[in-house]
Amino acid sequence: MAPERRGWWQSPWTALGALALGAVCGFALNPSGPIAGTVPGFVSGTLATADLVASIFLRLLKMLVAPLVLFSLVAGVASIADPRRLGRLGARTFAYYMVTSLLAVLTGLVLVNLIGPGRGARLQMAEHPGTLPGGAIGLREMIVGLVPDNIFGALARLDMLPIITFSLLLGFALTRLDPERRNVLTRLFDAGFHLFTRLALMVLSLLPIAVFALILRVAARAELRVFGDLALYVLTVALALVIHAVITLPIVARLAAGVRPVRWAGAIAPALLTAFSTSSSSATLPVTLETAEERGGVGNRTASFVLPLGATINMDGTALYECVATIFLAQYYASSAGYELTLTRQLIVVVTALLASIGAAGIPSAGLVMMTIILTALDLPLEGALLLLAVDRPLDMMRTTVNVWSDSIGAALMHRLEEGAPPVPRVSDA
């Protein structure tokens, strides 16, 4: 793709500045902030404008997700025509996703056991009636749901897993065509992929404004009061996420993928900032693809295969969060109601947290909904998940950033394994 001239507006530093400014303005407008009661018209007007800007940006991103996944995966699979190479890349990608997610879960497991935020916690469970968005999820539906019964329906609903299954199958069928038809279609899908990436680039120019609006509305509506009772829990999740993001994953980036972690983070910073502001790996996917390729130097073939898969099934941050959150609740029930948090049950958490993170959609609060699988497996009431809803947003922002960070390192690693050399970031603001 033709190189773009990038001014200060396109720099991640600008978006980071917008993020900080959005947070300051948002907290100032918060009901417990300084401006709150004084100029109500101003507060509601500002919030309405921020909502408008944020909604438009989110819709622009979401508009790109289904076509990008379809075109990028079909083009990716078709370009690796050799089934053995494809199988190898698929297996390696999957192995990376599983290993890093497992490391994340184990980090969470160790910290939640060491800190024990649930032991003796004061949680007024019965005061949180209501239903979770999306309801409880069963494992069986999750497996059957991998296969679309109607691809147009799946595309319309943005059901990522069935879209991925369909795209992989379509790409594979394409490689089985006679050479003439195969060439035409491969070029068509490749050109389509570039077209949507170009469109993503245009949407991306709105990033600073969008980040400002997204963060402002979150900060303005944050229920700061609720954090008191859950502070230790929030801190445990945050600390575990930070350890995974700044120690474990950078070691993988350095040793396995051969990229310098800080430089790599600088290259894909726009994707990290988008993940943080939107709490959605799927909505961030257009930005992740664009930045990994254009700024990070990951090969087109690798990025278009690895990243759509990653945005859907690789969620280190979510896996870690599931583990800490459910053990937190189990600790609470252990100290208040004689529940036994045995070693077997901790093992169940590790396995189901991994599965739940694979099954979680890349949308806000998906991790919280998937927690119902683990709570059911542990014989714990689902009510606990509702309680955690109150503090989910900031944790969601953090875990989504970790999810995308891990995807990008996976792309760098697969690039190295495929091309024999690490990707060379072309632009890095670090």
Give contact residues for ligand ASP (rule: CB under 6 A): 279-281, 315, 318, 360, 362-367, 396, 399-400, 403
* Comparison of 190 and 396: residue with beta carbon closer to ligand ASP: 396
* Comparison of 118 and 362: residue with beta carbon closer to ligand ASP: 362
Specify the residue for token string 């069986």: 140
Question: What is the rounded distance in angstroms from the CA atom of residue 275 to the CA atom of residue 291?
Answer: 13
Q: Least separation, in Å, of the C-beta of 246 and ligand ASP?
A: 18
Q: Least separation, in Å, of the C-beta of 290 and ligand ASP?
A: 18
Contact 107, 244 (CB under 8 A): yes
Q: Least separation, in Å, of the C-beta of 404 and ligand ASP?
A: 7
Q: Least separation, in Å, of the C-beta of 160 and ligand ASP?
A: 10
Question: What is the rounded distance in angstroms from the CA atom of residue 274 to the CA atom of residue 285?
Answer: 9
Q: Least separation, in Å, of the C-beta of 301 and ligand ASP?
A: 24
* Comparison of 409 and 427: residue with beta carbon closer to ligand ASP: 409
Q: Where are the alpha helices (DSSP H) in 253-315?
A: 261-267, 269-278, 281-290, 300-313
* Comparison of 164 and 360: residue with beta carbon closer to ligand ASP: 360
Question: What is the rounded distance in angstroms from the CA atom of residue 341 to the CA atom of residue 61?
Answer: 42
* Comparison of 74 and 240: residue with beta carbon closer to ligand ASP: 240
Residues with Cβ within 8 Å of 281's Cβ and at least 6 positions away in sequence, in order, are 275, 288, 310, 311, 312, 315, 362, 400, 403, 404, 407
The token pair at 190 is 């490749």
* Comparison of 17 and 134: residue with beta carbon closer to ligand ASP: 134
* Residue nearest ligand ASP, Cβ-based: 367
Specify the residue for token string 């075109």: 71
Q: Where are the alpha helices (DSSP H) in 222-268?
A: 227-243, 249-252, 261-267
Q: Least separation, in Å, of the C-beta of 277 and ligand ASP?
A: 12
> What phi, psi does 37 have (nearest 5°)?
-70, -15
What does each C-alpha distance from 28 to 31, 35, 36, 398, 419 come to in angstroms?
A: 8, 6, 7, 22, 50
Q: Least separation, in Å, of the C-beta of 340 and ligand ASP?
A: 28
* Comparison of 93 and 279: residue with beta carbon closer to ligand ASP: 279
> What phi, psi does 335 have (nearest 5°)?
-85, -20
